[in-house]
């Protein structure tokens, strides 16, 4: 089996179904952003210390994030498979609260009471080490993927993907601060 087919040499590519898309179309750009984000999440995972409880938790979180990014890609491509849902957004919010309580040294209940208050400072990506920097790279790529999705949302209504990507960038931020 060949890896290359040459079918895309003309600047068009196929997703699911018979329709061909320009390689610089909004949907192909969005899929590329999700693919790039997934690769950077994998790169961050390479630096996680799996011998600590926090590291094990990070790995479980990153594994789910990568699976979710695959699901997002298939949904955007038109697959009628496992779609993103409100439960995925709720999961991301729970992980944000969990890791933020670790950063701030407060309980989740105390954090809920303070919800909406500003963080209070800019962070310098990498000031806490290489893993921190990798998480912040993932965060910025997630933000870019979210922005590219808004062009696709005019085509398809993928509301849970939009919300999930918004929460994912926040999750990657707090993971970078742990």
**pLDDT tens per residue across span 73-100:** 999 888 877 789 999 999 999 999 999 9
User: pLDDT (tens digit, 9 = 90+) per residue, 55-71?
Assistant: 999 999 999 999 999 99
Q: How far apart are CA 143 and CA 33, in angstroms?
A: 10
Q: How far apart are CA 120 and CA 111, in angstroms?
A: 15
CATH of domain 24-105+128-177: 1.20.1200.10
Structure tokens at 98: 């969990």
pLDDT for 117 beyond 60: no
**Cα separation of the two ends of the chain:** 45
pTM: 0.87
Closest CA to 101 of 145, 57, 134: 57
Closest CA to 28 of 11, 40, 44, 10: 11
């Amino acid at each position: 089996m060949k890896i290359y087919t040459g079918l895309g040499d003309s600047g068009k590519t196929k997703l699911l179904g018979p329709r061909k898309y320009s390689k610089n179309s909004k949907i192909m750009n969005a899929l590329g952003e999700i693919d790039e984000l997934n690769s950077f999440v994998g790169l961050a995972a390479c630096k996680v210390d799996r011998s600590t409880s926090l590291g094990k938790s990070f790995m479980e979180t990153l594994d789910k994030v990568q699976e979710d990014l695959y699901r997002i890609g298939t949904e955007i491509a038109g697959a009628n498979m496992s779609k993103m849902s409100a439960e995925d957004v709720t999961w991301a919010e729970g992980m944000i609260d969990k890791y933020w309580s670790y950063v701030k040294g407060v309980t989740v209940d105390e954090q809920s009471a303070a919800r909406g208050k500003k963080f209070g400072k800019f962070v310098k990506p990498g000031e806490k080490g290489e893993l921190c920097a990798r998480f912040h790279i993932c965060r910025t790529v997630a933000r870019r993927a979210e922005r590219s999705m808004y062009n696709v949302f005019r085509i398809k209504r993928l509301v849970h993907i939009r919300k999930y990507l918004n929460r994912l960038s926040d999750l990657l931020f707090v993971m970078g601060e742990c």
